């Protein structure tokens, strides 16, 4: 895949696990379900490496015919000048231009059958920007980069390509709205955090009742929010402790920080909550200025939400495979 315009993009997969004790962040795609779904559409394993685009436009082409899919929040895609829907597989012919724009902001995922081929580092192809390793030379992609992809199509991919060549099916062959992540949601769910009892009752109530604006000072490390300041009821000093993607910290000025894919391994701000894993991707896809609301759930409810999402995805994988059998 030759990149003509890189925008702000990088190689990402599901991240590297088992190294947080060494200070190495998990990283990976900001919207993990979007990555899984796009890989499903092009007959990949869920964690195959894809290109994540956070600002564009992004343009590229391939020296060979490839099977692609793009997912995200309202991306506009053209393939050889023809419009293509998000969340559907499509074939890019050799030399044909591909263009992806994201008018609603957020993160686009571009998946190719076979995945993008770069070296594994600590079990992952994800780009670790601060460590300058993984992905493509440990950096953001640049215009002119040529990223290799798999050389041969599998039998599953060939069946999908054959199906897509039936012109009557190309535009209708798309994921159902019921399985596409809901990026227009009005609230995000969280489990009360380890230091939630450090806060005044009025602040805990405000977290559930008020809206918080997503600021422009947000990135892959975390989302900075602005709203009514939250207040501590204790003067106890926080000792740096473990944090993970989804941890909701409250800074010294009372504002909320929601950690995302590149979250550091330890932090010194009190943890008022932990975002449910199913809601991290949709929150990451919100554009600056969005008003966010938060709803507390129990540990059991959070676990149920995650299990339901996993079961839905596994059922979708089976259905997709059976469709082409």
For residue 178, what are the contacts with CB-CB under 8 A and spacing of at least 6?
none
For residue 34, what are the contacts with CB-CB under 8 A and spacing of at least 6?
71, 72, 107, 109, 181, 281, 285
Mean pLDDT, contiguous 10-residue spans, the chain (325 residues): 95 95 94 97 95 93 94 92 92 95 91 94 95 95 94 84 74 82 92 95 96 94 96 85 96 96 94 97 94 97 97 94 82
Longest dimension (CA), the chain: 67
* Category of 80 on φ-ψ map: left (φ > 0), alpha (ψ -120 to 50) or beta: left
Residue with tokens 């190495």: 24
DSSP 172: T
Residue among 209, 215, 247 nearest 228 (CA):
209
Tell me what pLDDT residue 269 has. 94
Tell me what pLDDT residue 168 has. 60
Backbone φ and ψ of 33, nearest 5°: -70, -35
Q: Where are the domains of the chain?
A: 2-181, 188-306
For residue 246, what are the contacts with CB-CB under 8 A and spacing of at least 6?
258, 259, 260, 263, 274, 275, 276, 277, 279, 280
pTM confidence score: 0.94
**Residue 120 structure tokens:** 């594994």
Alpha-helix residue ranges (DSSP H) falling in the chain? 32-41, 155-164, 167-170, 201-209, 277-284, 299-323
Dist. CA 18–CA 41, nearest whole Å: 28
Residue with tokens 């894919």: 261
Q: Which superfamily does 188-306 belong to?
A: Cyclophilin-like (2.40.100.10)
Q: What is the DSSP string of 66-112?
A: EEEEEESSS-EEEETTEEE-TTSEEEEPTT--EEEE-TT-S-EEEEE
Tell me what pLDDT residue 170 has. 54
Q: In Å, what is the CA distance from 184 to each residue of 180, 290, 291, 292? A: 11, 10, 11, 11
| Contact call for residues 72 and 106 (beta carbons, < 8 A) | yes
**Dihedral sign from CA coordinates of 165, 166, 170, 174:** negative
CB atoms within 10 A of CB 264: 16
Tell me what pLDDT residue 42 has. 95
**Residue 158 structure tokens:** 């060939």
Q: Strand order in 212-214's β-sheet?
A: 291-292, 212-214, 222-226, 256-259, 247-250, 271-275, 188-192, 294-296
**Is residue 272 helix, strand or coil?**
strand
Q: What is the number of helices (H) and of strands (E) in the chain?
A: 6, 20
| Contact call for residues 121 and 136 (beta carbons, < 8 A) | no
Tell me what pLDDT residue 169 has. 56
């Amino acid at each position: 895949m030759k990149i003509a315009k890189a925008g702000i993009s990088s190689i990402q997969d599901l991240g590297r696990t088992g190294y947080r004790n060494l200070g190495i962040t998990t990283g990976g795609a900001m919207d993990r379900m979007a990555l899984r779904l796009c890989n499903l559409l092009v007959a990949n394993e869920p964690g195959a490496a894809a290109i994540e685009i956070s600002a564009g436009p992004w343009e590229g082409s391939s020296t060979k015919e490839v099977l692609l899919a793009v997912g995200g929040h309202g991306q506009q895609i053209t393939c050889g000048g023809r419009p293509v829907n998000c969340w559907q597989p499509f074939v890019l012919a050799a030399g044909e231009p591909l263009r992806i724009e994201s008018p609603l902001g957020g993160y686009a995922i571009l998946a190719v059958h076979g995945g993008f081929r770069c070296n594994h580092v600590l079990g992952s192809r994800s780009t670790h920007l601060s460590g300058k390793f993984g992905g493509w030379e440990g950096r953001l992609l640049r215009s002119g980069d040529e990223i290799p992809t798999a050389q041969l199509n599998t039998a599953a991919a060939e069946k999908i390509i054959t199906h897509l060549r039936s012109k009557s099916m190309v535009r209708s062959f798309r994921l159902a709205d019921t399985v596409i992540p809901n990026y227009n949601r009005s609230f995000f769910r969280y489990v009360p955090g380890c230091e939630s009892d450090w806060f005044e009752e009025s602040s805990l109530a405000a977290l559930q009742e008020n809206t918080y604006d997503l600021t422009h000072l947000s990135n892959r490390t975390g989302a900075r929010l602005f709203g009514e300041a939250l207040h501590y009821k204790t003067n106890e000093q926080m000792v740096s402790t473990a944090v993970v993607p989804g941890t909701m910290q409250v800074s010294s000025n009372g504002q909320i920080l929601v950690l995302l894919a590149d979250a550091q391994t330890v932090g010194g701000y009190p943890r008022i909550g932990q975002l449910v894993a199913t809601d991290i991707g949709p929150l990451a896809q919100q554009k600056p200025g969005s008003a966010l609301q938060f709803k507390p759930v129990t540990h059991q409810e959070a676990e149920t939400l995650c299990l339901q999402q996993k079961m839905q995805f596994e059922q979708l994988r089976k259905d997709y495979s059976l469709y082409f059998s």
